[in-house]
Amino acid sequence: MSSQKEKKIRRLHRKNIWPSMLTLFLFISAFVFIICSMFILSLVNLATNKLEYTTENAKMVAQIIEEENVGSNEELIQLVKEMQRILPNVQEVCISNEENEVIIKSGSSEPKVENELVVTGLDCRIYLLEQSDNTLYAQNGEVKFDTEKMIDVFLAPDDEVYDIDKPLLYLSFWIASPMDENHQNVFVKSEIAVKESEVASIGIFAIAIIGLVIGFAIYYIVFTIGLIRDQRRLTQLLYLNPVTGGKNWTYLKVKGEKFIRKSFRNKIKYALIHIRMNKYQSFCTCYGAKEGTDLLELIYQELQSKISKNEVAVHYARADYAMLLSYDSKEGLEQRLSNIVAGIGAARQGRRLDFCAGIYEINNGKMDMDAMYNNASIARSALHPEGEEWIGWYSQEMQKQQLWERKVEDTMEEALQRKEFQVYLQPKYSSREEKLSGAEALVRWISPEEGFVPPNRFIPIFENNGFILKLDDYMISEVAKQQAEWIGEGRKVVPISVNVSRAHFTKDDLAEHICGLVDAYQVPHEVIELELTESAFFEDKEVLLETVRKLREYGFAVSMDDFGAGYSSLNSLKELPLDVIKLDAEFFRGIEDTEKGKIIVNEAICLAKRLDMKIVAEGIETKEQVDFLAEQGCDLIQGYYFAKPMPIQEFEKKAFNI
């Protein structure tokens, strides 16, 4: 699986909400701390403003006293009464000398200079009173809070009417302001009070903000829980197989990777298995599509019931299933699979079910799950359709073959363009005169990297992937081009046969297509012979018969290669209008020693003669075989006895004595 896709799947699978909750907790804590700090700062700022206002009033009192030149207590009392009308927070006034000894006072109390309170930013001196009924007071020279009074403010009895104008913070103190001319100090007894109504407005705002934050937190928690619930539902849908209602391949990949990682630490062996029900399409044709779907669900349920919690079984596609199973030995795993299949068959009594399986032993925890399943599929595909073995194990040889097929498919187009596929010709000789009378064109791959590549290493690959169509066209064109070159040189050419894959015979216009390839070089059609294998007869018979008929009308000779290798050769001879029959080499294995073999070859040649067809014997390797075929009237002989396939330059030496 790609890394991008894997990240998306893991993101959907993630369910942990603690990071989100921790983030929310830290956010709320920080916000509450900020609100509380702002509340305290607001209170401090409010008290500071009142203190600044009071000290300004004290300075004003000192200035007035200095201007009026007060000299007695009576004068000071009278002046204080007048000032209290405009400065209500002025309670008493005292005047002291340089040694802070009170010389004039308007009341009965005096300041104590040892109770000084230093306030930064004020150029006046403040002296607290030794009164415990104040919230802030001085005692033995120390500044203290009356905490009991502070608590009583908030915990008023239920039967009392709460006065919101009650002071929450009350302070009575002396403020000293110097008089410049006579070096005396004026002490003004004042007070400040922070009322609860003033604090309440700030508190209400702070509580409102905190309430909004709590509401947001509740919404966020509800939203997160809903998101997690939706995530789980989406994950269930992601892992749902719509056919069986169980888990799918994506689930196996995610879960299987975890099991495999643990297996290497716990020394547990795992195998990935591709198991297929054979002839599923036939089952659906006989019993219906719904019955087929029900069968797929039943198979999944049976597989699911036979696995442990550390194993996985899923429906992959169509009638294919994937299983991740732990095992101790190969024999034990095969026996377990046999028991599983037997259980499926028992659950479906009266209807025979056939299975095949491929197994990949997991020995690399970093290998992609798709690649491992593909290897298991390769092991299953390598099983012979008609064989008794229904379980195949993936091997290194299969891997090498897989890599080779991949390399061939990656380079085949470029190899064709660079003409790495070369035409080799194997001569055909007349049986009596032993004269070169024809040839067969065979393809050889000369790769710059691999060197000489035998046909059996690439032809089957091309037949499976369809590239054989391009290769056949290339061979027909190259042979036609070579024939045209020899004819242009005045050479006496012989017919050259070219193989035409049965994949071509699905086209209605094949005859016209071949004519176009040959006519591009203006070559007579009779010098080109087209070979088709007997297996082509079992494709679309009507299209094949019509194509052969057209090719013969266009002047091409048509031959059947490997006659006798199949099981319906006589039937194909009856229906196909052929010109040449090539007897398979197996006809001649040991005919020198068996009378029965000679009779079969003799009758086959006689049959072809009576049907007005030429006979070519291929794979001839001995003089005895040549003499026997000459006696039986075989027309042409092809094989290593006369010559092996050779490059065009060597063929020219044999054919034209150059």
Say yes or no: 281 and 196 in one domain: no
CATH no. for residue 374? 3.30.70.270
- Let me know: does 518 contact 463? Beta carbons within 8 Å: no
Instruction: Give the separation between CA 365 and CA 272, rounded to whole angstroms.
Output: 12
- The pLDDT value recorded for residue 350 is 65
- The pLDDT value recorded for residue 14 is 52
Any domain includes 315: yes
Say yes or no: 442 and 533 in one domain: yes
Any domain includes 2: no
Say yes or no: 390 and 432 in one domain: no
Say yes or no: 417 and 561 in one domain: yes
Any domain includes 6: no
Say yes or no: 182 and 256 in one domain: no
- Let me know: does 461 contact 493? Beta carbons within 8 Å: no
- The pLDDT value recorded for residue 199 is 67
Question: Between 56 and 530, where is the model more confident?
Answer: 530
Query: 590: left (phi > 0), else alpha (psi -120 to 50), else beta?
Result: left
**Any residues with CB less than 8 A from the CB of 244 and at least 6 apart, and which?**
296, 297, 300, 301, 315
Residue 447: beta bridge partners? Answer: 451
- Poorest-confidence range of 5-9, 208-212, 273-277? 5-9
Say yes or no: 253 and 296 in one domain: yes
Copy the structure tokens of residue 590.
Answer: 């040991």
SS3 11: helix
Any domain includes 223: no
Say yes or no: 107 and 147 in one domain: yes
**Domain closes at, from 332, 363, 394:** 394
Any domain includes 13: no
Q: pLDDT-derived band of residue 122, with 50, 70 and 90 as boundaries?
A: low
- Cα–Cα distances in Å, from 609 out to 84, 526, 537, 557? 149, 20, 21, 16
The pTM score is 0.59
Say yes or no: 273 and 387 in one domain: yes
Say yes or no: 527 and 638 in one domain: yes
Rg (the chain; Cα; Å) = 54
DSSP letter for each residue of 133-182: TSSEEEETTEEEE-HHHHHHHHS--TTSPP-TTSEEEEEEEEEEEEETTT
How many domains does one find in the chain? 3
Identify which of 238-252, 346-360, 448-462 has the greatest average pLDDT.
448-462
SS3 323: strand
Any domain includes 241: no
What pLDDT, in 10s, does the model give residues 587-620? 766 655 567 777 878 888 888 888 889 999 998 8
Query: Which residues form the domain of 359?
Result: 249-394
Q: Which of 306, 317, 334 is nearest to 373 (CA)?
A: 317
Any domain includes 212: no
What pLDDT, in 10s, does the model give residues 479-520? 999 999 999 999 999 999 999 988 887 788 889 999 999 999
H/E stretch holding 498: strand 496-499
Q: Which residue type, as a one-letter code, is found at position 416?
A: L
Cβ-count burial 524-540 (b if 16+ within 10 Å, e if not): ebebbbbbbbbebbeee
Say yes or no: 425 and 303 in one domain: no
Tally of CA atoms within 13 A in the half-sphere of 343 that contains its CB: 16
Q: pLDDT-derived band of residue 454, with 50, 70 and 90 as boundaries?
A: very high
Q: pLDDT-derived band of residue 160, with 50, 70 and 90 as boundaries?
A: very low
Say yes or no: 380 and 423 in one domain: no
- Poorest-confidence range of 14-23, 28-37, 102-111? 14-23
- Whether pLDDT at 282 is above 60: yes
**Domain closes at, from 360, 394, 428:** 394
Copy the structure tokens of residue 145.
Answer: 């809070």
- Whether pLDDT at 181 is above 50: yes
Say yes or no: 451 and 370 in one domain: no
What pLDDT, in 10s, does the model give residues 533-555? 766 665 667 888 888 899 999 99
Any domain includes 238: no
Contacts 24+ apart (CB under 8 A), 344-353: 344/298, 344/299, 344/302, 344/303, 347/298, 347/302, 348/295, 348/298, 351/283, 351/287, 353/277, 353/295
Question: Between 572 and 379, where is the model more confident?
Answer: 379
CATH no. for residue 543? 3.20.20.450
What pLDDT, in 10s, does the model give residues 235-273? 677 788 888 888 888 888 888 888 888 887 777 889 999
143 phi/psi in degrees, rounded to 5: -85, 130
Instruction: Give the separation between CA 202 and CA 208, rounded to whole angstroms.
Output: 10
What pLDDT, in 10s, does the model give residues 76-87? 788 888 887 777
